[in-house]
Amino acid sequence: MGFLTEVWAKAMFTTDTKPPDGILADAQPVQDVNTTKETNEPAPNSKETKEWGYDLYPERRGETYKTKWTRVLFGMEGKENIDRYKCEQNVYWCVKNGPLVKLMMGALRSSGCPIDLRRHISCEVCDPSVTGGYDPVLNQIVVCQNMATNKSMVHGVLTHEMIHMFDYCNNDLDFRNVEHLACTEIRAANLAHCSFLSAMMQGDAAPWSAKQAHQNCVKSKALASVLAVRNISREDAIAAVERVFPKCYADLEPIGRRIRRNSTDQQKAYMEAPLYGYDVY
Ligand SMILES: [Zn+2]
């Protein structure tokens, strides 16, 4: 099976409703790559949500996260509201102080897709395999309050997901097309995820001073993200990533540079934004 668009094309004959675009999961490294998504077998239950990644975001399915009282007794749950508050504080801090987040907000504003915090960013409880996501149906960024638990991680998630939002705003993306999906994941990994910011926080701190290491980081992150939300074979996902890699890796819009570790690149990128016509402030 190649493209999910083909699957959808078939489904379209039986329904008039617009298909979901699926959610884009900002997957944690490693475990998603190794999960049992190697076959094209449909998921046994809730096929629809699994197919498009919504199973990773229970609150996206209209369920508020339900506390299990047995776990509350053991102090394992029941702090969702505190987590949400902390998460929202971190989001607010990043919007005020995070150079890449400020740059992305400016780029989105200049592209005609300004971010309204309350409308477009949502702190939620997620599956532990993901730290964030982008929901193109609602045009919302999900920050996983149970996984992205400090400013640095939230900054990484916001930058990553804002690149998806930027691509959705500017590049006429169809997230059902696996090549489009692979491309935006490559761009997000390249510009945000594989930068030191989130790389260290999210367990992939391999030194990437070597160009090759950085490219490999981008490829493996993009692959993990594609596999997390699309029920396609690993082989097909790798093929899609490789096909679009040269073009999408070279596309540095709107940040304009790769961010190096221990550098002032974030600030430089922010300062350069007006040169690209982005309206940052
Ligand atoms: Zn992503």
Residue 70 placed within a domain: yes
DSSP letter, residue 173: -
pLDDT at 163: 94
**pLDDT tens string for the chain (281 positions)?**
222 222 223 233 333 333 445 778 775 433 332 333 333 333 344 566 666 777 888 888 766 655 566 666 666 566 788 899 999 999 999 999 998 899 999 999 988 999 999 899 999 999 888 899 999 889 999 999 999 999 989 998 999 999 999 999 987 788 889 999 999 999 999 888 776 544 444 445 444 445 677 888 899 999 999 998 888 999 999 999 999 999 999 988 887 666 655 566 666 666 666 655 555 55
Residue 85 included in any domain: yes
Domain assignment of residue 235, yes or no: yes
Q: What's the chain look like in SS3?
A: CCCHHHHHHHHHCCCCCCCCCCCEEEECCCHHHHCCCCCCCCCCCCHHHHHCCHHHCHHHHCCCCCCCHHHHHCCCCCCHHHHHHHHHHHHHHHHHHCHHHHHHHHHHHHCCCCCCHHHHEEEECCCCCEEEEEECCCCEEEEECCCCCCHHHHHHHHHHHHHHHHHHHHCCCCCCCHHHHHHHHHHHHHHHHCCHHHHHHCCCCCCCCCHHHHHHHHHHHHHHHHHHHCCCCHHHHHHHHHHHHHHHHHCCCCCCCCCCCCCCHHHHHHHHHHHHCCCCC
Catalytic residue numbers read: 161
**Residue 52: how many other CB atoms lie within 10 Å:** 22
pTM of the model as a whole:
0.73
70 CA from centroid of ligand 1 (Å):
34
- What are the DSSP calls for 58-90, one per residue? GGGGTPPPPPPHHHHHTTSSS-HHHHHHHHHHH
If you measure from the C-alpha of residue 23 to the centroid of ligand 1, how many angstroms do you get, rounded to a whole number?
A: 9
Q: Is residue 158 part of a domain?
A: yes
Rounded to whole angstroms, the Cα distance separating 174 from 152 reads 30
Cα–ligand 1 centroid distance for 161 (angstroms): 6
pLDDT at 270: 66
CA of 24 to the centre of ligand 1 (A): 5
The predicted pLDDT at position 45 comes to 47
- CA–centroid distance, 75 to ligand 1, in Å, is 32
Give residue 74 CA to ligand 1 midpoint distance, Å. 34
Specify the DSSP class assigned to residue 142: E
C-alpha triplet 99, 101, 106: angle, nearest 5°? 95
- In degrees and rounded to multiples of 5, residue 135 shows phi and psi of -105, 100
| pLDDT number for residue 10 | 29
Please give the Cα distance from 112 to 30 (Å, whole number): 36
Q: What is the pLDDT, as a whole number, of residue 141? A: 96
Counting every residue written for the chain, the total comes to 281
For residue 148, what are the domain limits?
4-276
19 CA from centroid of ligand 1 (Å): 20
What is residue 235's predicted lDDT score, i.e. its pLDDT? 94
Take residue 122 and report the two structure tokens written for it.
């949502």
How far, in Å, is the centroid of ligand 1 from the Cα of 190? 11
- Going by their DSSP bridges, the two strands 24-27 and 130-135 should be labelled as antiparallel
Instruction: In whole angstroms, give the CA distance from residue 223 to residue 6.
Output: 20
281 belongs to a structural domain = no
Cα(71) to centroid(ligand 1), Å? 31
pLDDT given for residue 46 in this prediction:
53
What pLDDT is recorded for position 32?
A: 31
Rounded distance between C-alpha atoms, residue 60 and residue 79, angstroms: 19
**Would you call 73 exposed, middle or buried from its count of C-beta atoms within 10 A (0-12, 13-18, 19+)?**
exposed
Q: How many domains does the chain have?
A: 1
pLDDT at 255: 74
Residue 47 inside a domain? The answer is yes
